[in-house]
Amino acid sequence: MAAAERGCGRLPLALLLLAASASASPRYAPDWESLDARPLPSWYDEAKFGVFVHWGVYSVPAWGSEWFWWSWQGQRDSKYEEFMRQNYPPGFSYADFAPQFRAGFYEPRKWAELFEAAGARYVVLTSKHHEGYTLWPSSTSWNWNSMDIGPHRDLVGELGAFLQQKNIRYGLYHSLLEWFNPLYILDKENNFTTQNFVQTKILPEMVDLVNRYKPDLIWSDGEWEAPDTYWNSTEFLAWLYNDSPVKDQIVVNDRWGINTGCKHGGYINCKDKYRPTTIPKRKWEMCTALDKKSWGYRRDMDSSDVMTDLEIIQELVFVVSFGGNYLLNVGPTKDGIIPPIFQEKLLSLGSWLSINGEGIYASKPWRVQMENTTIPMWFTLKQSVVYVFYSDWPQEGMLPLTSPVPTNVTRVSMLGVPGFLKWSQASVDQGLLVYLPQLSPDILKMKVWTLKLEEVK
Ligand SMILES: *[C@@H]1O[C@H](CO)[C@@H](O)[C@H](O)[C@H]1NC(C)=O
Ligand SMILES: *[C@@H]1O[C@H](CO)[C@@H](O)[C@H](O)[C@H]1NC(C)=O
Ligand SMILES: *[C@@H]1O[C@H](CO)[C@@H](O)[C@H](O)[C@H]1NC(C)=O
Ligand SMILES: *[C@@H]1O[C@H](CO)[C@@H](O)[C@H](O)[C@H]1NC(C)=O
């Protein structure tokens, strides 16, 4: 980072050497070999579940998706042109939506309470999406930020303060590209041989975000049109890992250039809604959205577009059994309300996690990830305890497990149900047949149940 280098340049060499030897952590070079070797801070893998929040000026038209501006004036999709003709006066520009982004009912305390009740251990907020509007008073986004126009509030900072009180980690989504930024368009016309946009906009604003809000995670996006060398990604990450105020806890994803996805960075997202079929070599995260058709809030959402409780829990269990984290998105309205249907989904996941989270948080993948027999099952491991998740109730009340090999001290129980369950074994080296208990209605309605297999010596 230019600023940091200049700062160091003024220090006498002796002092620099002293500082280097006094610090225990290694220094990272601005190349992927060095950056990729950094161990991922352990909080991230242990967290397992986070809530993603897409909020911005697109929450004002709230129609189609958060790509509204691009669909309308980039692609010139006739559906969007028609929508504008029908609903807004001629000459109405995208920027004219911003004053209506009022966030009048935004109560970040209530958001934080909801995310806590949902069982989220981290939250990722779009500090800036591809439209370029910043949800914090960025000095490099003049008149296109939440303090100058719209809410007249620091939306990023306010949420961060309440999450911190609840010990929920804070991630900031940040889009590198800005569809209609003239500086970006110019660099693009120069085939990214010039970096004016990166030097005057992107690097200063990312450093500002980090220094101001000290996030735990930077969720980078909008990288796909240019290589990492254009974005100065390795230089930024070296600063982040070596010298930034968050160098010990910061976690980043893999979207740092057209050539980095699935390969480089902290953990990998690969593509949106990524579903690996085997355990990836690196820590990974599946990001997905409660509204199957959009990340930002849209008024044209139907209840059938929203994931069901069962889909959500099954997906979480699948992701965690394959060693991933699950980042589930909600889109608040322009007023700052998280739509009640999303609240309901989050709360019902939270109530499931309050019983079954024991087998989720801080777990590791087991020797087997899933059994796709008549009743599909997923497994996780914590210390020497194996957790088995299944979402179908066998008619005879007996559940056959093929993969676990029991011993004469194996104890089986079900999370949320007191006591141990009876089990039997057809023959040595075979799995177990577990005799399931009668369930109380509140446990029965969970839809995905967890068995706990432990060796009680
Ligand atoms: C950005 O990268 C270019 C070349 O890739 C390099 O010359 C320049 O020093 C870098 N800038 C910063 C601020 O790291
Ligand atoms: C960018 O690349 C395209 C295709 O390779 C070429 O036609 C164009 O002249 C280049 N523009 C500049 C400014 O180098
Ligand atoms: C499980 O098996 C069924 C039937 O063979 C198949 O349709 C389904 O895709 C499988 N699921 C997984 C996760 O492998
Ligand atoms: C369990 O099995 C081991 C050997 O497999 C044996 O030594 C031990 O006595 C058994 N314990 C019980 C309680 O049956």
- Nearest partner of 408 among 457, 354, 373, judged by Cα: 457
What is the number of the ligand closest to the CA of 409?
A: 4
CATH match for 364-456 among 2.130.10.10, 2.70.150.10, 1.10.10.10, 2.60.40.1180? 2.60.40.1180
Burial of residue 419 (number of CB atoms within 10 Å: 0-12, 13-18, 19+): exposed
Ligand 1 center from residue 30 Cα (angstroms):
10
- The DSSP bridge partners found for residue 124 are 52, 171
Angstrom distance (rounded) from CA 317 to CA 364: 12
Q: Return the pLDDT at 378.
A: 98
CATH superfamily of 32-359: Glycosidases (3.20.20.80)
- The DSSP bridge partners found for residue 398 are 435
Ligand 3 center from residue 433 Cα (angstroms):
22
Beta strand 251-252 with 217-221: parallel, antiparallel or unpaired?
parallel
| Cβ count near 387 (within 10 Å) | 24
Q: Is the dihedral of CA 240, 245, 250, 253 positive or negative?
A: negative
Ligand 2 center from residue 190 Cα (angstroms):
7
Which residue reads 């967290």 in tokens?
Answer: 47
Ligand 4 center from residue 383 Cα (angstroms):
22
- Nearest partner of 437 among 454, 456, 451, 457, judged by Cα: 451
Mutate to test the pocket of ligand 1, among 232, 233, 256 (most ligand atoms within 8 A of CB): 232
Encoded tokens for 272: 């949106």
Q: Return the pLDDT at 148.
A: 98
Instruction: Please list every protein residue whose CB sits less than 6 Å from any atom of ligand 2.
Output: 190-191
Ligand 4 center from residue 382 Cα (angstroms):
24
Q: Return the pLDDT at 11.
A: 41
Mutate to test the pocket of ligand 1, among 8, 35, 197, 235 (most ligand atoms within 8 A of CB): 235
Q: Return the pLDDT at 245.
A: 98
Asked if 227 and 258 touch (Cβ cutoff 8 Å), the reply is yes
Rounded to whole angstroms, what are the CA distances from 42 to 64, 267, 416?
A: 38, 12, 28
What is the number of the ligand closest to the CA of 193?
A: 2
pTM confidence score: 0.93
What is the number of the ligand closest to the CA of 188?
A: 2
The full set of domain ranges for the chain reads 32-359, 364-456
Minimal-distance CA residue to ligand 2 atom 2: 191
Q: Residue-wise pLDDT tens for the chain (457 aa)?
A: 333 333 333 444 444 444 444 456 789 999 999 999 999 999 999 999 999 999 999 999 999 999 999 999 999 999 999 999 999 999 999 999 999 999 999 999 999 999 999 999 999 999 999 999 999 999 999 999 999 999 999 999 999 999 999 999 999 999 999 999 999 999 999 999 999 999 999 999 999 999 999 999 999 999 999 999 999 999 999 999 999 999 999 999 999 999 999 999 999 999 999 999 999 999 999 999 999 999 999 999 999 999 999 999 999 999 999 999 999 999 999 999 999 999 999 999 999 999 999 999 999 999 999 998 889 999 999 999 999 999 999 888 999 999 999 998 999 999 999 999 999 997 777 789 999 998 888 888 888 999 999 998 7
Do domains 32-359 and 364-456 share one topology? The answer is no
- Nearest partner of 61 among 103, 96, 105, 108, judged by Cα: 96
- Nearest partner of 279 among 328, 327, 324, judged by Cα: 324
Beta strand 385-390 with 377-382: parallel, antiparallel or unpaired?
antiparallel
